[in-house]
Amino acid sequence: MSGLRRARGYSPMSATPESSAVLADVLATIRACVARGGTPVVGFDLDGCVFDTRPRQVHIFRELASRRGFDALYRVEVEHFKDWSLANSMRNAGLAEAFIAAHEPEVRQWWASHFFTTEYVLYDHAMPGAVSFCRACADAGAIVIYLTGRDIKMRAGTEEALRRFGFPYDDVSAVLITKPTFEMDDTAFKESALEAIAARGEVVSYFDNEPANVNLFHERHPAAKVVFVETDHSPRPVEPVEAIPWIRSFLLV
Ligand SMILES: [Mg+2]
């Protein structure tokens, strides 16, 4: 197991020769598919994959901090979001246990009522290099599909964010697929969406930060270059299968 595999958490500037080779291999696979007359399809998850959601979370924390006079919450910066526990994020920022115990339920309620909204996805940042890579995929001849667990109510903000950061979106080679309802399980939704994607062409590659999702795509499309993007992911005790390469950055070295 390489050092790249063991490294966990967001580190979007951490490009390595190995991660660059993974990205180059995907582009070569797209070109090979086009060369033999195929229609290559590349899928990208959004949250924690081509978008860094931590700025959205910091913004949500600071609005609550300001409104409620919770000044200590301003200590929470992007690097403190290491998993899906908001208590851990506050702890990582050095907030007092007494504050966390007293206010975590309110913070969590505030977070949950803002994070999954079309307005707040606009606070996300594109992962460095992600736009260039998505464009390179489209330029090489691939249909770029954004396959997200965001639901239909978050679609308008998602489209705006894709446009603002310059992702290929407003052309025939790019498609956004959102969940029909918030309640639907992300992996079950992506499993059903897979068939729709496969109908558009040959699925040559798929990128996601959720181990269960990359494992599913790898199982259904064993010939595709499925890539695990190490940022953060759900607390489900699932690891990407050994055959799946990891990247932490879309930058090239
Ligand atoms: Mg994700």
Q: What is the pLDDT of residues 106-149, one digit of tens each?
A: 999 999 999 999 999 999 999 999 999 999 999 999 999 999 99
Assign 89 a pLDDT band (cuts: 50, 70, 90).
very high
Taking the centre of ligand 1 as the mean of its atom positions, its distance from the CA of residue 68, in whole angstroms, is 30
Q: How far is the CA of 10 from the centre of ligand 1 (A)?
A: 12
Answer whether residue 5 shows pLDDT above 60.
no
DSSP state of 142: P
Looking at every residue in the chain, the average pLDDT score rounds to: 94
Quote the pLDDT of residue 3. 44
Residues above pLDDT 70, as percent of the chain:
97
DSSP state of 7: -
CA 8 / ligand 1 centre spacing (Å) = 15
The helix/strand/coil state of 75 is helix
* pLDDT over threshold 90, residue 172: no
Cα(25)–Cα(133) distance, integer angstroms: 12
The pLDDT assigned to 200 comes to: 85
Which residues, other chains included, contact 118 with Cβ-Cβ below 8 Å and sequence gap of 6+? 153, 154, 155, 156, 157, 158
CA 38 to ligand 1 center in whole angstroms: 28
What's the CATH class of domain 3-52+124-247? alpha beta
In the chain, the amino acid numbered 154 is M
In a 3-state reduction of DSSP, which class is residue 208?
strand
